[in-house]
Structure 1
Amino acid sequence: MNVQLTTTAVTVLSGFVPSAVQATAQALLIADDRLVAVSHDITGIRDGIVLRTVRTATGILEHETVRIEHGCVACTLREDVVPTLARLAAEQPGRDLLLVLPHTIEPEAVATACGPLTEVRFDSYVTVVDTDRFLDDLVSTDDLRHRGLHAADDDHRTVADVVVHQVEFSDTVVLWSRPGSDRDHVDRLGALVHRLAPWAVQVPTGTTHSLDIGGLSTLVRGTRRHDPERPGTLGLALEGRAIGVHDPQTSVVFRCRRPFHPQRLHDALDELTADAVRGRGQLWIASQPDTVIAFESAGGGVSFGSLGYWLDALPADRWMEAGDQRRIAADLSWHPYYGDRRTALALIGLDLDHTALTGLLSRCLLTDDEVAQGFAAWRELPDPFEGCFPVQ
Structure 2
Amino acid sequence: MGTEVLLVAGLAQHDVAEEVWRASPGSVLVRHDLRDLAQGVVRRWVDGRLTVLELAHGCVSCTLRLDLLPLLERLGGRVVVHLDPALEPEAVCFALREVDVRVEAVITVVDRETWLADATGEDTMHDRGLGAAEGDERTVAQVVVGQAEFADAIVLTGAGDDPALGAVLDRLSPLAPRRRRDALDVPELLAAIPDDARRGRFDDGFGALLHGQPPLRPAHGAAVVHFTERRPFHPMRLHQAIDVLLDGVVRTRGRVWVASQPDVALWLESAGGGLNVGNLGPWLAAVDDWSEVPAERQAAASAVWDPYYGDRSQELVVITRAAAPDEITAALREALVTDEELALIDELEFVDPFAEWHDEMEEL
Q: Give unmatched runs, 5+ long, in structure 2.
A: none
Aligned partner letter, 2:34 = I
Aligned partner letter, 1:268 = A
SS at match of 1:140: coil
Q: TM-score normalised to the size of structure 2?
A: 0.89
Q: 1:239 aligns with which of 207, 213, 220?
A: 207
Give 1 or 2: higher helix fraction: 1
Aligned partner letter, 1:47 = Q
Q: 1:129 aligns with which of 88, 101, 110?
A: 110
Q: Tell me the equivalent position of 1:92.
A: none
Q: Tell me the equivalent position of 1:73.
A: 60
Q: Give unmatched runs, 5+ long, in structure 1.
A: 1-5, 90-94
Q: How does 1:209-248 map to 2 (within 5 A)?
A: 210-219=183-192, 225-226=197-198, 229-231=201-203, 235=205, 238-242=206-210, 245=214, 246-248=216-218
1:115–1:213 distance in 2 versus 1, CA, 3 Å: closer
Q: Tell me the equivalent position of 2:155.
A: 175
- Give the whole-Å Cα distance in 2 for the aligned partners of 1:177 and 1:65: 30
Aligned partner letter, 1:386 = A
Query: Are 1:258 and 2:240 counterparts?
Result: no
Q: Tell me the equivalent position of 1:158.
A: 139
Q: CA deviation at 1:290?
A: 0.8
- Give the whole-Å Cα distance in 2 for the aligned partners of 1:334 and 1:18: 49
Aligned partner letter, 2:91 = A
Q: How does 1:191-210 map to 2 (within 5 A)?
A: 191-198=167-174, 200-205=175-180, 210=183
1:218–1:37 distance in 2 versus 1, CA, 3 Å: farther
Q: Tell me the equivalent position of 2:357.
A: 388
Q: TM-score normalised to the size of structure 1?
A: 0.83
Q: Tell me the equivalent position of 2:29.
A: 37
SS at match of 1:369: helix
Q: Which moved more, 1:319-328 or 1:242-251?
A: 242-251
1:126–1:224 distance in 2 versus 1, CA, 3 Å: farther
Query: Are 1:8 and 2:34 counterparts?
Result: no
Give per-residue Cα distances to partners, 1:259-291, cap 9 Å, x unaligned. Answer: 111121122222443232322211110111111
Instruction: Answer whether contact 2:106 2:199 (CA < 8 A) is retained.
Output: no
Q: How does 1:1-392 map to 2 (within 5 A)?
A: 7-19=2-14, 23-55=15-47, 60=48, 62-89=49-76, 95-118=77-100, 120-170=101-151, 172-178=152-158, 181-183=159-161, 185=162, 187-198=163-174, 200-205=175-180, 210-219=183-192, 225-226=197-198, 229-231=201-203, 235=205, 238-242=206-210, 245=214, 246-248=216-218, 250-315=223-288, 317=289, 319-374=290-345, 376-378=346-348, 380-389=349-358
Q: Which moved more, 1:361-370 or 1:272-281?
A: 272-281
Q: CA deviation at 1:223?
A: 6.6
Q: CA deviation at 1:177?
A: 3.2
Q: CA deviation at 1:137?
A: 1.2
Give per-residue Cα distances to partners, 1:331-371, cap 9 Å, x unaligned. Answer: 11111111111111122122332222212211111112222
Instruction: Answer whether contact 1:272 1:360 (CA < 8 A) is retained.
Output: no
Aligned residues: 356
1:301–1:121 distance in 2 versus 1, CA, 3 Å: closer
Q: CA deviation at 1:45?
A: 1.0
Q: Which moved more, 1:28-37 or 1:359-368?
A: 28-37
Aligned partner letter, 1:15 = G
Aligned partner letter, 2:36 = G
